[in-house]
Amino acid sequence: MATFELLVNGVRRSVDNVSPDTPLLWVLRDHLGLTGTKFGCGMALCGACTVHIDGTAQRSCSVAVSKAVGKAIVTIEGLAARDGALHPVQQAWIDEDVAQCGYCQPGQIMQAAALLARTPKPTDEDIDRGMNGNLCRCGTYQRIRKAIHTAADLAAGEARNPANIASPAAVPGVAPLPGAPKVASEPTDAKKGKKKGGSQ
Amino acid sequence: MKPSSVRAAARSNEIRDFESNTSAMKTTQLASDGALTGAEGLSRRTFLQRATLAGGGLALAFFLGREEAFAEAAAGGAGNASGGPADGFTPNAFLRIAADGNVTLISKNPDLGQGVRTAMPMIIAEELCADWNRVNVVTADVNPAAYGSQNAGGSNSIYANWDRLRQAGAAARTMLIAAAARQWGVAAAECTARDGAVLHAGSGRRASFGSLVEAAAREAVPDPKTLTFLSKADYRLLGRRLGSVDARAIVTGRQEFGIDQVPPGVRVAVFAKAPAFGAKVASANLDAVKKLPGVRAAFVLEGNGTLDELAPGVAIVADTTWDAFGALDKLEVNWDEGGAAKDSWKAAQEAAEKLDPNGGKEAKKVGDPAAAFASAAKVITGTYACPYVAHAAMEPQNCTAHWRKDCVMEIWAPTQNPTPGRQAVAKLLGLPLEKVVVHMVRAGGGFGRRLFNEYMVEAAAIAQRYEGPVRLVQTREADFAFDFYRPGSFHAFKGALDGRGRLTAWQDHQLTFGNDGKPVRAAAIGAELFPGPLVPNFRLSHTLLPTGVPTGWWRAPVSSAEAWALESFLHELSVAAGRDHVEFLLELLGEPRWLTPGNPGTLHTGRAAAVIRLAAEKGDWGKPLPKGHGRGIAFHFCHRGHFAELAEVSVDEERRLRVHRVVVAGDVGPIVNRSGAENQVEGSVVDALSVLCLQKMTFEEGRAQQSNFHDYGLLRLPQTPRIECHFIESDYPPTGLGEPALPPLAPAVCNAIFAATGHRVRRLPLIDDGFKVT
């Protein structure tokens, strides 16, 4: 067990009581509360856990936390600008209404953002090569392809007509059951962002 | 706004009757398994009730089911639907308008990617004439007494809720207009509503909904029978392309799925089940496991005798997921396989080799098939083999459960069908139902897998034993090793053609799996599936192989597997007859009619013919193609949806297959959200192609042999064809899209492969038939 200093989304984070072979995925999710990065297969086969490490898209399920020290890690939560302005890929994903269940999409978006960083105007063949490792069980690939082209246009400041009418952003969460006892609640920041009651 | 008359209200009663009929017909087997029943057995009477909010505002509770449920919910109403503090009377409102004009709409069914959290509120918002930008959507908790059946299954959400959601919106709009008319001293009939305001054209007056809610809450709640609905021409939301209300949360990583639930103090649990289905735990190295880093507890759960709920296994509770997975690697269990599954897919394949089209136990016979074959000009036979498949949703099975100090089991479940899970938890743990609180959290895909709730039962059992909150997470390997698989099946077909190339007899002997003379779940033979019922002489028979493998609903159950065999063999017949397949299909369909007269839950031959013609036209049927290219077309009806699909493929000398283009023509009545609808169709095509090309689960010694995406592939972006989607927006009631666009794809592609190569695909997946998918 050891303590690791990580640079995640531009912020220095310290995690302790972690074995060096722990995949970065679980450090992000379980220790840092960054649950946007998803677990899909644990073998770098599906791409749901894709993050950027020093600007390269990598499968965080197969990168030991010890190998991520000293590198700049960006997760889906850190892709938008500090002021909340969405990355062109995120905006394009909304404009093209890409997601169905949405579970693989953080990984798809991180992969697409890395692709566009290297290839600002990708061809269909570039997209085929760049996105081949990210699985989507809902089958949103046709929209992913279109959204990557849209994102490229957005990044270049080109005019566009979104295919869909934007919907208001829903407030996440669920309604409590009338008549049911209240959920034993602790301050919400205990739920988000902080290390949950794991390694004591 | 032009009210389209009260005809719609009358029709709604019709629809409900049909719904009961067709669901009884279609879900006989579902009901026997306890799935998809929910509260649908209750009286279907719906009624509206006004609620007064302390802060001022209009809430309409729109109840389905027993009237007394309203009183119960109202009496117990401590929270409110928007999750804020209690503010007076707070029933389960489907609709709530605050004094600031913001509208909250409740989505009562689970969303696992099929888009009901956007589509269902759109229906309310349309009839309300709300400003979509002021709408917030909240998912309901599980409360069948108040909401009726809450499930995502059978492509049923839109069809079953269309009328009641329209009524909720129209009733609120009527009350808002009445309030404005009263204030202005004009007739309500002179007023209209639009974009969240009431307007009086004569005087140019306008009042926002927010300014009217207090007065509207004092208006009488209209009887649903008196409501008028917008005409299609006046729709401002329905039929358009609206982005998902969850899009922003998804793209920023803020969307919470089941696996993201983190109640304070939560630990991570894993549950090791036997590799051979049904085996029991004889012994395990629990003492060694308990000493591993981060491990808090390890114990055996005996199981309750049904794999649907709690299989025997070993639970490990640890501080983090990695600790739990690490402990799972070191866990050693001796399994007692005395009563366990012995299934062998190889043995099943061998049994199928001897399948005789005339054999088997007769399940259905129409006309005189033997005589028809005896007098036929041509008799054609064909065999088909379709493997088991897994669900492989991107989010592995998981569930979070908190056994609270007040003896309430609180559960966050990514489920399609929460009610049976809640009941199973209550029964297993000996709790009254109201002590089991279930939150429906977004699921990372369902496809039928999450109609089952074993993860909910496991998580609750572990949480109670551990006496604290746990998040059960299955590894991908465990997700593959324990599924409710789509059963494999084999067909021996025989068809007869007369001298003019007309189909006169059809026989299908199906070899599938069953115990005690009954097919296992989802292995039932679809006697109603196209084309059997349209052929004058028809025989369906089956042979069952015993099995211990758990099976279950997989997107478009039965149809998703059967359509490939049925529509491929139908194509063999039109080829043998030397006829154009489209013309052959249209002749078989004949005059426009419901297959079961008067029952619009069944295939309509006119709607079927229309989608076949449209797919053929849009897909350039009959136009020349380069060598090595081919087109195929297939039709299927299921879940009230009529779909024809045309595929254009090429195959080279090394059997490298490329699906270039898929044209889909469907009739599901009016489209609610065009973006969501097309997304479902595109997804169905990709999903079907994925299964067709790549997927099979095999079992030996009662064990699953595939374990992760390296040996169970999913289609990838480069292999995705261009998909074009065309809807015939008929005036029949809108029906669902989660499933019916899937089944025609596989036979369309295989018929296209035949057109390109002359090779008939007889076993799946295509990679087992020597194809490489590019």
pLDDT at A196: 35
Distance CA B389, CA B549 (A): 12
Burial of B449 (0-12, 13-18, 19+ CB in 10 A): buried
Scanning every residue of chain A, which has its alpha carbon at the shortest distance from the alpha carbon of B117? A170
Q: What is the mean pLDDT of residues B175-182?
A: 95
Give the full edge-to-edge strand order of the sheet including A11-18: A11-18, A2-8, A72-74, A50-53, A56-59
Query: Cβ of B251 under 8 Å from any chain A Cβ?
Result: yes
For chain A, list residues with pLDDT below 50.
171-200
pLDDT at B48: 58
The CA radius of gyration of chain B, in Å to the nearest whole number, is 27
Contact B669, B731 (CB under 8 A): yes
Contact B83 A173 (CB under 8 A): yes
> What is the pLDDT confidence band of residue B507, given thresholds at 50, 70 and 90?
very high
Contact B248 A190 (CB under 8 A): no
| d(CA A185, nearest CA chain B) in Å | 8
Query: Cβ of B319 under 8 Å from any chain A Cβ?
Result: yes
Q: Which residues contact B583 (CB under 8 A, 6 or more apart)?
A: none
Mutate to test the interface with B, among A73, A101, A186 (most CBs of B within 10 A): A101
User: Torsions phi, psi of B36, nearest 5?
Assistant: 60, 20
Burial of B731 (0-12, 13-18, 19+ CB in 10 A): exposed
Residue B86 predicted with pLDDT over 90: no
Query: Cβ of B707 under 8 Å from any chain A Cβ?
Result: no
B756 vs B65, higher pLDDT: B756
Contact B363, B525 (CB under 8 A): yes
Residue B80 predicted with pLDDT over 50: no
Contact B442, A101 (CB under 8 A): yes
CB atoms within 10 A of CB B484: 24
Structure tokens belonging to residue A168: 């208001």
Contact A135 B714 (CB under 8 A): yes
pLDDT at B8: 31
Query: Cβ of B725 under 8 Å from any chain A Cβ?
Result: no
pLDDT at B598: 87
> What is the pLDDT confidence band of residue B477, given thresholds at 50, 70 and 90?
very high
Among A93, A132, A199, the residue with its CB nearest the CB of B718 is: A132
Contact B401, B466 (CB under 8 A): no
Residue B37 predicted with pLDDT over 70: no
Mutate to test the interface with A, among B87, B141, B256, B394 (most CBs of A within 10 A): B394
* Mean predicted lDDT score pLDDT of chain B: 88
Contact A198 B402 (CB under 8 A): no
Residues forming beta bridges with residue B472, ordered by sequence position:
B269, B399
Contact B394 A135 (CB under 8 A): yes
pLDDT at B374: 98
B316 vs A173, higher pLDDT: B316
User: Torsions phi, psi of B718, nearest 5?
Assistant: -65, -20
Residue B219 predicted with pLDDT over 50: yes
Distance CA B167, CA B145 (A): 19
Query: Chain A to chain B, count of Cβ pairs less than 8 Å apart?
Result: 328
pLDDT at B223: 83
Scanning every residue of chain B, which has its alpha carbon at the shortest distance from the alpha carbon of A103? B444
Helices A88-95, A141-155: crossing angle, 10 deg rounding? 130
User: Torsions phi, psi of B259, nearest 5?
Assistant: -70, -10
Distance CA A137, CA A125 (A): 21
Among B73, B135, B264, the residue with its CB nearest the CB of A168 is: B135
B534 vs B144, higher pLDDT: B534
Contact A164 B243 (CB under 8 A): yes
Query: Cβ of B263 under 8 Å from any chain A Cβ?
Result: yes
In this predicted structure, which of B4-8, B340-344, B701-705 has the lowest mean pLDDT? B4-8
Residue matched to tokens 């064990």: B703
User: Torsions phi, psi of B298, nearest 5?
Assistant: -150, 130
Structure tokens belonging to residue B515: 């115990």
Mutate to test the interface with B, among A103, A111, A128, A191 (most CBs of B within 10 A): A103
Q: What is the mean pLDDT of residues B136-158?
A: 85
Distance CA B268, CA B262 (A): 10
Query: Cβ of B257 under 8 Å from any chain A Cβ?
Result: yes
Contact A143 B444 (CB under 8 A): no
Distance CA A130, CA A128 (A): 6
DSSP for B445-460 reads --TTGGG--HHHHHHH
Contact B255 A172 (CB under 8 A): yes
pLDDT at B74: 39
Interface of B with A in 379-408 (CB under 8 A): 392-396, 402, 404-406, 408
pLDDT at A44: 98
pLDDT in tens, B4-24: 332 333 333 222 222 222 222
Scanning every residue of chain A, which has its alpha carbon at the shortest distance from the alpha carbon of B138? A174
Mutate to test the interface with B, among A154, A177, A183, A188 (most CBs of B within 10 A): A177
Among A132, A172, A173, the residue with its CB nearest the CB of B716 is: A132
Task: To the nearest 10°, report the CA torsion of B270, B274, B277, B283.
Answer: -130
Distance CA A193, CA B468 (A): 21
Contact B127, B230 (CB under 8 A): yes
Work out the end-to-end distance of chain A between its first and last CA atoms, rounded to an integer number of angstroms: 12
Scanning every residue of chain B, which has its alpha carbon at the shortest distance from the alpha carbon of A51? B253
Give the rounded percent of residues in chain B with a pLDDT score beyond 90. Answer: 79
Burial of B364 (0-12, 13-18, 19+ CB in 10 A): middle
| d(CA B470, nearest CA chain A) in Å | 11
Q: What is the mean pLDDT of residues B73-82?
A: 34
CB atoms within 10 A of CB B183: 14
pLDDT at B58: 67
Among A77, A142, A192, the residue with its CB nearest the CB of B682 is: A142
pLDDT at B370: 97
Bridge-based pairing state of the strands B103-107 and B489-497: unpaired
Among A93, A109, A168, the residue with its CB nearest the CB of B136 is: A168
B-chain residues near A81 (CB < 8 A): none
Contact B316, B268 (CB under 8 A): no
Residue B73 predicted with pLDDT over 90: no
Mutate to test the interface with A, among B320, B402, B709, B725 (most CBs of A within 10 A): B320
Residue B40 predicted with pLDDT over 90: no
Query: Cβ of B202 under 8 Å from any chain A Cβ?
Result: no
DSSP for B134-167 reads GEEEEE--S-HHHH------TT-HHHHHHHHHHH
Query: Cβ of B244 under 8 Å from any chain A Cβ?
Result: yes
Q: How far is CA B277 from the centre of its chain?
A: 26
Q: Which residues contact B509 (CB under 8 A, 6 or more apart)?
A: B355, B356, B357, B358, B359, B360, B491, B492, B493, B541, B542, B543
Measured CA to CA in angstroms, residue B549 lies from B34, B223, B712, B764 at distances of 19, 51, 18, 20
B44 vs B771, higher pLDDT: B771
B148 vs B137, higher pLDDT: B137
Distance CA B473, CA B444 (A): 13
Scanning every residue of chain A, which has its alpha carbon at the shortest distance from the alpha carbon of B147? A177
pLDDT in tens, B628-676: 999 999 999 999 999 999 999 999 999 999 999 999 999 999 999 999 9
A-chain residues near B402 (CB < 8 A): 184
Among A104, A175, A190, the residue with its CB nearest the CB of B83 is: A175
pTM of the model: 0.90
A197 vs B292, higher pLDDT: B292
Element (H, E) at B125: helix B116-128
> What is the pLDDT confidence band of residue B443, given thresholds at 50, 70 and 90?
very high
Contact B243 A167 (CB under 8 A): yes
Closest CA to B484 of B457, B526, B455, B516: B455
Contact A178 B405 (CB under 8 A): no
Contact B141 A168 (CB under 8 A): no
DSSP state of B42: S
Among A40, A76, A144, the residue with its CB nearest the CB of B252 is: A76
pLDDT in tens, B535-555: 999 999 999 999 999 999 999
